[in-house]
Structure 1
Amino acid sequence: MKALIAGAGRLGTQIAQVLSAAQNEVTLVDRDEDRIAELVSRLTIRLEAGDACQADFLEHAGALTADVVIAATGDDADNLLISLLAKRRFAVPRVAARVNDTENAWLFDHRWGVDVPVPAATPLISLIEEATGATDTVALLRLSKAGVNVIETAITTQSRAAGRTLADVALPAGTVIATVIREGQPTVPTPEVRLRPGDELLLVSHTATEQEIHAAFQ
Structure 2
Amino acid sequence: MKVLIAGAGRLGTQIAQVLSAARNDVTLVERDEDRLAELDGMAQVRLLAGDASEPGLLARAGTRTADVLIAATGRDEDNLVIGLLAKRRFGVARVAARVNDAENAWLFDLRWGVDVAVPAATPLVSLIEEATGATDTVALLRLSKAGVAVIETAITAESRAAGRPLGEIDLPAGTVVATVVRDGRPTVPGPEVELRPGDEVLLVSHEATEQEIHAAFQ
Fold match, TM over 0.5?
Answer: yes
Q: Give the Cα separation in 2 of the matches to 1:22 and 1:211.
A: 16
Structure 1 residue 148 displacement after superposition: 7.6
Change in CA separation of 1:84 and 1:73 when aligned onto 2, cut-off 3 Å? same
Structure 1 residue 44 displacement after superposition: 2.8
Q: Secondary structure at the match of 2:106?
A: helix
Change in CA separation of 1:78 and 1:208 when aligned onto 2, cut-off 3 Å? closer
2:92 maps to 92
2:153 maps to 147
Give yes or no for contact 1:70–1:131 (8 Å, CA) kept in 2.
Answer: yes
Q: Among 166, 179, 183, which residue is 1:173 paired with?
A: 166
Structure 1 residue 42 displacement after superposition: 3.2
Amino acid at match of 2:166: A
Q: Give the Cα separation in 2 of the matches to 1:91 and 1:77.
A: 20
Change in CA separation of 1:28 and 1:145 when aligned onto 2, cut-off 3 Å? same
Q: Give the Cα separation in 2 of the matches to 1:44 and 1:113.
A: 28
- Please, what TM-score do these two structures have when normalized by structure 2? 0.69
Q: Secondary structure at the match of 2:151?
A: coil
Q: Give the unaligned 5+ runs of structure 2.
A: 144-148, 156-164, 168-176, 191-218
1:116 maps to 116
Further displaced range: 72-81 or 41-50 = 41-50
Q: Secondary structure at the match of 1:135?
A: coil
Give yes or no for contact 1:148–1:206 (8 Å, CA) kept in 2.
Answer: no
1:205 maps to 179
Q: How many residues get paired? A: 165
2:193 maps to none
Give yes or no for contact 1:95–1:131 (8 Å, CA) kept in 2.
Answer: yes
Amino acid at match of 1:53: S
Structure 1 residue 210 displacement after superposition: 4.9
Matched, 1:20 2:26: no
Amino acid at match of 2:111: R
Change in CA separation of 1:44 and 1:56 when aligned onto 2, cut-off 3 Å? same
Give yes or no for contact 2:181–2:187 (8 Å, CA) kept in 1.
Answer: no
Q: Give the Cα separation in 2 of the matches to 1:133 and 1:14.
A: 17
Q: How does 1:119-134 map to 2 (within 5 A)?
A: 119-134=119-134
Amino acid at match of 1:95: V
Matched, 1:137 2:143: no
Amino acid at match of 1:61: A
- Please, what TM-score do these two structures have when normalized by structure 1? 0.69
Q: Which runs of 4+ in 1 moved over 3 A?
A: 206-214
**Percent of residue pairs identical:** 67
Give yes or no for contact 2:7–2:28 (8 Å, CA) kept in 1.
Answer: yes
Q: Give the unaligned 5+ runs of structure 1.
A: 150-171, 175-202
Q: Give the Cα separation in 1 of the matches to 2:88 and 2:186.
A: 41
